[in-house]
Amino acid sequence: MKVMEDSRNLIDKFKGLENERVKAELDKSRTPLEVAIENVEHDFNIGSIVRTANSFNVAKVHIIGKKKYNRRGAMCTDKYLEIIHHSTVADFLKTQAGRELIAIENNTKEAKPLHAKQFPPDTTLIFGSENNGITPELLNQAHEIRYIESFGSTRSVNVGVAAGIAMYEYARQVIL
């Protein structure tokens, strides 16, 4: 495959490389950030979060519960990430020893603003459903709960957008 013929949504230095080679190159510079997606009903939102996780070169994406999602939303970026499916919250939690679990959730009074959080490198950001949020089972295991401030009339942004904002804030503090 010639670079000019490669229509994949890749930065130039990866054009023309096989998918496995792209993933291997990304593995050399992965951030320690992990992302968990739980209780998200809309397949496109899961795909969107996966795509954003690739953009921030996260170490892993955990999908808790639902196994299938709209890969079109991910724009094939799932090929370059480690995506782990967990059937239960308990299974997910077994993989999180030594990590700080930060739930991004606006449906609880315990939540504090995202902008005031100082992220440690070994952070896992947890995102949940726009309707029902993160399940109490997982929310109770989070070390902290943070919300994204809203300045308009709507109380929250789309979960895919929230994931991008939170990943950027982590990157701004830990990577940049």
> Alpha-carbon distance 26 to 81, whole Å?
9
Which residue did the predictor score with more confidence, 155 or 135? 135
In this predicted structure, the answer to whether residue 118 has a pLDDT above a threshold of 90 is: yes
pTM of the model: 0.92
Could you tell me if residue 21 is inside a domain? no
Q: Which domain holds residue 51?
A: 33-174
Could you tell me if residue 15 is inside a domain? no
Could you tell me if residue 20 is inside a domain? no
Could you tell me if residue 46 is inside a domain? yes
Could you tell me if residue 125 is inside a domain? yes
In this predicted structure, the answer to whether residue 2 has a pLDDT above a threshold of 60 is: no
Tell me phi and psi for residue 38, to 5 degrees.
-130, 140
**Minimal CA–CA distance to 147: which of 112, 109, 118?**
112
Tens digits of residue pLDDT in 53-72: 999 999 999 999 866 655 55
Could you tell me if residue 24 is inside a domain? no
Is 163:125 a contact under the CB 8 Å cutoff?
A: yes
**Minimal CA–CA distance to 129: which of 35, 36, 40?**
40
Read off the pLDDT of each residue in 86-108 and give the average, rounded to a whole number. Answer: 96
Could you tell me if residue 138 is inside a domain? yes
Domains identified in the chain, total number: 1
DSSP for 82-126, please give it.
-EEEESSHHHHHTT-TT-EEEEE-SSSTT-EEGGG----SSEEEE
Query: Which CATH number goes with the domain that contains 152?
Result: 3.40.1280.10
Read off the pLDDT of each residue in 135-151 and give the average, rounded to a whole number. Answer: 96
